[in-house]
Amino acid sequence: MEDEFEFGFTEDPKFSVERYEEMIRNHDQYFFDAQAFENIIDYYIEKNDPAKALQVAEYATNQHPFAAVFLIKQAQLLAITNRTDAAFNALDKAAMLEASDADIYIIRGNMFESMERFAEALENYEKALELAEETDEILLHIAYVYQNMGDYETSITYLKLCLQQNMENQDALYELAFCYDVLDNQAESVQFYQQYIDNEPYSYAAWYNLGNAFTKLGLFEKAIDAYDYAILIKDSFASAYFNKGNALVNLEKYAEAIEVYRHTFEYEQPNADTYCAIGECYEKLEQMDDARAFYKKSVKMDPKLADAWFGIGVTLDFEERYFEALHFYKKALDIDALNADYWFAIADAEYKLGHMKEAEDAYEKVVELNPLDIDAWLDYSSILYEDKRLVGAIEIISEAIKNNPEAAELYYRMVAYLFAKGEYNEALNYLELALGSDPEKHYILFDYLPQLQENKVILDIINRYSK
């Protein structure tokens, strides 16, 4: 008979692991108490070696057949390695030994959740809530399930309960922001985070989420203040610097934004999005060489970032290098073929190169993808007008008005085209509609057809509306 040694929980965990590995090497039979086995299992879990951890759990189950803890560990590890049936089986055995252990129901809930069997997941999590001492993580999981079911209101209820249990649960804070975002309920989001901050003024995550909510409401100054508090509490918070940079861009404070974006490099590796954002700031400052340099850094890091390829095109377009610009616009389009802005830039570049057919085709694509783009409709119709295709130009503007019945610019352009075609009565009808919509914009008509400034009938009608 082999010698049997006993190792107890008083031993250093590392010592237990060494003895266990020695036993396996020597094909011996040592006895470990329950605590020692738990330490060994946890050691292998921390080492990200679930196979060895599972081997220990099975060994522990043989030595301690009435200890539910090892069946629960076994189930956890079987679930990680996608052996779902065996995991459920281990949990059933654990429940027979220790039905009041909350972990049984939490792990079951996790597995049902990953299988998208949401009703069964909720049933197990609710059971776990009754048994567990600390419930914030269980409440968080219930919130996840409701999110997966598309019920964001109920998810918010459970996230708030989670935060009542543990004010420092960062995941719950971020998930709450996500739910408010999906529901497009930023006002309630602001209200919640402000109340939360009253109780937890040093929560950098709450200040950060408050900043994000203000950003979505277009309150950029307030957003910047909130991001500043987040940074004050956690000065290495790269995401807060990045979002503060975005808020400054929205306020057209491009030089300040560049400085803030650069701060992120002190706390995390530079990434393509930040390089692209800096490039855009330099572009807005019309420092095209700097802009292009950062856009190039961006695409080098992430060749799939369409906006950076597009940015390179914009810098070249600015320098009237339209042919080169077109090449980069098309690279952006290869990545995101349904981006109306890319098509618009292509249409404009083709027009500047004198490629009228290509420009016309591109404008057609723009208005198909974004029928609310008034400038695109105007430019599209201009190409036809310049080509003496007046009927076509009128048809385009007519279609534009159907999609944008409030846009005065379109009515004024229609007046110009109808006058050019000699349809004066119809033109005057449209002039009345244009002036009724926005009398201040009547200059558009004279920009397009200066000779109409001499037309007494038109001037009388404009004067009537201007008064």
pLDDT of residue 107: 86
The whole-number average pLDDT for the span 66-71 is 68
| Spatial CB neighbours of 87, under 8 Å, sequence gap ≥ 6 | 74, 75, 76, 78, 79, 107, 111
What does the pLDDT look like over 300-332, one tens digit per residue? Answer: 999 999 999 999 999 999 999 999 999 999 999
Domain ranges of the chain: 1-99
Residue 160, pLDDT > 80, answer yes
Residue 86, pLDDT > 80, answer no
Question: Residue 203 — left, alpha, or beta (φ > 0 → left; ψ -120 to 50 → alpha)?
Answer: beta
What does the pLDDT look like over 400-420, one tens digit per residue? Answer: 999 999 999 999 999 999 999
Of 66, 56, 135, the C-alpha closest to 98 is 66
On whether the CB atoms of residues 415 and 430 are closer than 8 A, the answer is: yes
Residue 140, pLDDT > 80, answer yes
Instruction: Indicate the SS3 state at residue 124.
Output: helix
CATH superfamily of 1-99: Tetratricopeptide repeat domain (1.25.40.10)
Residue 257, pLDDT > 90, answer yes
pLDDT of residue 64: 66
Considering 15-24, 106-115, 375-384, the range whose residues carry the highest mean pLDDT is 375-384
Rounded to an integer, what distance in angstroms lies between the CA atom of residue 26 and that of residue 323?
74
Of 320, 311, 379, 377, the C-alpha closest to 353 is 320
Q: Greater confidence, 139 or 22?
A: 139
Percentage of residues of the chain with pLDDT beyond 90: 61
pLDDT of residue 265: 94
Q: Greater confidence, 464 or 336?
A: 336
Residue 266, pLDDT > 90, answer yes
Provide the pLDDT confidence category of residue 92 given band limits of 50, 70 and 90.
Answer: confident
| Spatial CB neighbours of 346, under 8 Å, sequence gap ≥ 6 | 326, 329, 330, 333, 362
The C-alpha angle 264, 269, 274, rounded to 5 degrees, equals 55
Residue 132, pLDDT > 90, answer no
DSSP 8-state code for residue 61: H
Question: Comparing 1-10, 44-53, 373-382, which segment has the lowest mean pLDDT?
Answer: 1-10
Question: Comparing 18-22, 189-193, 403-407, which segment has the lowest mean pLDDT?
Answer: 18-22
Rounded to an integer, what distance in angstroms lies between the CA atom of residue 73 and that of residue 248?
50
Instruction: Specify the pTM.
Output: 0.76
| Spatial CB neighbours of 403, under 8 Å, sequence gap ≥ 6 | 367, 371, 372, 377
Answer positive or negative: Cα dihedral of 71, 73, 76, 82. Answer: negative
Provide the pLDDT confidence category of residue 234 given band limits of 50, 70 and 90.
Answer: very high
Backbone angles phi, psi at 56, to 5 degrees: -65, -45
